[in-house]
Amino acid sequence: MLLNGIHIENTYAEAFDMKATRLIVTADTLAWARHAGMAATGFATSVIACGCESGIERELAPEETPDGRPGVSLLFFATGRSVLGKQVETRLGQCILTCPGTACFSGVPRGAKEDLIPMGRKLRYFGDGQQMSKLVGGRRYWRIPVMDGEFLCEESSWSVPAVGGGNLLILADARMAALEAAEAAADAMRAVPNVVLPFPGGVVRSGSKVGAKYKGMPASTNDAYCPTLRGLPRSRLPAEVESVLEIVIDGLTAADVAAATTAGLKCLIERGRGSGVWGVTAGNYGGKLGRHHFHLHELLP
Amino acid sequence: MSMLSFRLKGPLTGRVDASPLLPHRLAAMDLTEIAALPLRLGRGRIAVGDLFDLSGSPGDTVELEGDERLDFVGAGLSGGTIRVAGPVGHRAGTGMSGGSLVVEGSAGLAAGAAMRGGVLTIAGDAGNELGGALPGERAGMTGGRILVRGSCGDRVGERMRRGLIAVGGDAGAYAALHMNAGSLLIGGRPGAATGHGMRNGTVLFRGEIDALPGFADCGLNQLPFLSLLDNHLSELDWVPPSCRGLTGRARRWLGDRGFGGRGELLSCL
């Protein structure tokens, strides 16, 4: 299919069931909330080696946060509830507790006991007996004395079902054209609520396939989309494509991932062939690994 | 929503135990059955119908004409609403676990003692032992919310373990006596010996206090949970205005260290 000069391949992105949670981090200024958010969601691009995938969902105005200060909302995705709990615990303790002036709250509705993600429940022991708990409006918070005052942290959050691994591959004439298109598309996709783009700037250049010729490598470079190999028979790239970038999407529901995919497609199609983008495709593993399939032709704007 | 009203036929000749007049107990009865219900009056008994004029239909709301000799109003309330036009006697809302008791006048002794849940609202003043403990009990209030527009007597929040008490006016002596946890807000001035024997929990008030020697003065602090609490209070009805507007800045005393406690007295700015 050719839209505004851009090839939209008739394929689908394959995504997986995950567990997710949302944390609200507030601080005295938005800049400090962002510092905490950046650190807590750092080194969280792929569950392959990071344990979780996460990102800053959006920035929050003071009137949107529980304590009336500016903040950020963070989404964390992992393969299961217990690994998600571990990741949240360590990131909360090392990146949010440590950041000046922050407070941290759960950003999801109260869930079932088996979905519990401990926050202050574990972190309170840092208070060495001087911590205090407060039950406000039916939710428990911990107040942990720290050197700049008090760290306020909700007792727990809850995991919710989520979808991870939605993606778009942008095929462009040149590296800079691919980069500019990916930047624009990532900006458009980030505006969709309930999703994060976990890779640096939302963009991946090293898309992977499952398996490798070497033992012990679970994944290796997606050689079918590497332009330097486009003369090989297995290449999926036409001669004019010189650079490919991927945008990976994690969302709380399949509908959120679909909405982000549509937003990305809309942005790329509106920019048109003149922007140097040759086409858009998506990554899948034959449909056998992930339950969720996002067909590009069904998600066109 | 159906409402059942009780109007007093005349002045009470003694103290009356009004604890049977709970919405959920009356909901399944008709008016003649309710009128035949015995109430304790002094050392004897009297039928509801001899004491009150009944109107309306039983449901989730009971409206009661108040009197200072009407004791145990809403004691054991677990759901529904009791609205009292006028004052109530002693032990209003004792041991209540849910629902809402609204007293449009003042309350006597031990209002909301041993409360476990629900909301008790008092438009006037409350007597001693507001939200306190029943005699001999180790824990006082363990949940729910008490909101008093006026002042309260001595020993408010005694042995409190959870929940919120907000008093718009002044509090008497020994507020938060042996408090275990929970929050006590005093919009006016706290009385003598506030926090004696406190183990945990928070007492908030305005202005200066001559804290007991068991309390360590930790100076001025910025406490983010105060803004959270203030936000929460803004969502509730009937919170005394003097308990609102917490800036988050407070002078903090930690104690009562004579009892190994680490509760806090917060003088809020």
Asked if A135 has any chain B CB less than 8 Å from its own CB, the reply is yes
Interchain proximity A67–B228, CB inside 8 Å:
yes
Asked if A134 has any chain B CB less than 8 Å from its own CB, the reply is yes
pLDDT at A288: 80
Interchain proximity A66–B200, CB inside 8 Å:
no
Asked if A66 has any chain B CB less than 8 Å from its own CB, the reply is yes
Alpha-carbon distance A216 to A227, whole Å? 26
Is the pLDDT score of A202 beyond 80?
yes
pLDDT at A285: 84
pLDDT band of residue B188 (cuts 50, 70, 90) is very high
Percentage of residues in chain A having pLDDT higher than 70: 100
Asked if A240 has any chain B CB less than 8 Å from its own CB, the reply is no
> For the residues A63-83, what does the mean pLDDT come to?
95
pLDDT band of residue A48 (cuts 50, 70, 90) is confident
Task: Please give the residue range of the domain that contains residue B87.
Answer: 61-268
Q: Does B161 reside within a domain?
A: yes
Interchain proximity A152–B224, CB inside 8 Å:
yes
pLDDT at B110: 96
Q: What is the pLDDT of residues A244-296, one digit of tens each?
A: 999 999 999 999 999 999 999 999 999 999 999 999 999 988 888 789 999 99
Buried b (16+ CB within 10 A) or exposed e, B182-203: bbbbbbbebbebbbbbbbbbbb
Asked if A27 has any chain B CB less than 8 Å from its own CB, the reply is no
Which CA distances in Å does A289 have to A215, A234, A247, A283? 21, 22, 19, 12
Q: What is the pLDDT of residues A9-25, one digit of tens each?
A: 999 999 999 999 999 99
On whether the CB atoms of residues A94 and A81 are closer than 8 A, the answer is no
Q: Does B2 reside within a domain?
A: no
Among B225, B247, B251, pick the best mutation site for testing chain A contact (most A Cβ within 10 A): B225
State which H helix or E strand residue A189 sits in.
Answer: helix A175-190
Q: What is the DSSP letter of B256?
A: -
Q: What is the pLDDT of residues B44-77, one digit of tens each?
A: 999 999 999 999 999 999 999 999 999 999 999 9
Q: Does B12 reside within a domain?
A: no
Residue A10 has φ and ψ, to the nearest 5°, of -85, 80
B-contacting residues of A 92-121, CB under 8 Å? 103
On whether the CB atoms of residues A56 and A199 are closer than 8 A, the answer is no
Q: How many CB pairs under 8 A join A and B?
A: 46
Structure tokens at A245: 């970038």
Q: What is the pLDDT of residues A114-144, one digit of tens each?
A: 999 999 999 999 999 999 999 998 899 999 9
Which residues are CB-neighbours of A88 under 8 A, at least 6 positions away? A21, A23, A52, A76, A117, A118, A119, A157
Q: Does B166 reside within a domain?
A: yes
Which runs of E-coded beta strand occur in A27-115? Answer: 53-60, 71-78, 103-106
> For the residues B87-110, what does the mean pLDDT come to?
97
Nearest Cα of chain B lies from the Cα of A70 at a distance, in angstroms, of 13
Number of domains in chain B: 1
Q: What is the pLDDT of residues B106-143, one digit of tens each?
A: 999 999 999 999 999 999 999 999 999 999 999 999 99
Asked if A63 has any chain B CB less than 8 Å from its own CB, the reply is no
Alpha helices in B108-223 (DSSP H): none
On whether the CB atoms of residues B262 and B225 are closer than 8 A, the answer is no
Domain at B239, CATH number: 2.160.20.60
Among A136, A144, A154, pick the best mutation site for testing chain B contact (most B Cβ within 10 A): A136
Q: Does B207 reside within a domain?
A: yes
Which runs of E-coded beta strand occur in chain A? Answer: 2-3, 6-8, 12-26, 53-60, 71-78, 103-106, 116-118, 132-136, 139-146, 149-154, 156-158, 160-172, 195-196, 203-204, 208-210, 219-221, 243-251, 277-281, 292-295
Q: Does B20 reside within a domain?
A: no
CB-closest option in A67, A129, A133 to B231:
A67
Question: What's the mean per-residue pLDDT of chain A?
Answer: 95
- Total residue length of chain A: 301
Alpha helices in chain B (DSSP H): 23-26, 31-36, 48-51, 224-234
pLDDT at B207: 86
pLDDT at A10: 96
Identify the CA nearest to A293 among candidates A241, A254, A248.
A254
**Chain B residues lying within 8 Å of A150, measured CB to CB:** 221-225
**Chain A residues lying within 8 Å of B235, measured CB to CB:** 137
Structure tokens at B251: 């002078």
Q: What is the pLDDT of residues B191-250, one digit of tens each?
A: 999 999 999 999 999 988 999 999 999 999 999 999 999 999 999 999 999 999 888 899
Three-state secondary structure call for residue A225: helix
Identify the CA nearest to B195 among candidates B227, B225, B217, B168.
B217
pLDDT at A219: 87
Asked if B233 has any chain A CB less than 8 Å from its own CB, the reply is no
- Total residue length of chain B: 269
**Chain A residues lying within 8 Å of B161, measured CB to CB:** none
Interchain proximity A141–B228, CB inside 8 Å:
yes
Asked if A32 has any chain B CB less than 8 Å from its own CB, the reply is no
On whether the CB atoms of residues A117 and A84 are closer than 8 A, the answer is yes
CB-closest option in A129, A132, A150 to B224:
A150
Asked if B200 has any chain A CB less than 8 Å from its own CB, the reply is yes
Token pair 């790239």 is at which residue? Answer: A237
pLDDT at B13: 92
**Chain B residues lying within 8 Å of A149, measured CB to CB:** 221-224
Interchain proximity B225–A150, CB inside 8 Å:
yes
Question: What's the mean per-residue pLDDT of chain B?
Answer: 95
pLDDT at B1: 63
Helix A175-190 vs helix A254-271: crossing angle, to nearest 10:
140
Structure tokens at B49: 């119908």
Which domains are assigned to chain A?
2-14+162-298 (3.30.70.520), 19-160 (3.30.70.520)
For A272: left if phi > 0, alpha if psi spans -120 to 50, otherwise beta; the answer is left
Q: Does B179 reside within a domain?
A: yes
Nearest 10 degrees: Cα torsion B248, B250, B256, B258 = 140
Q: Does B49 reside within a domain?
A: no
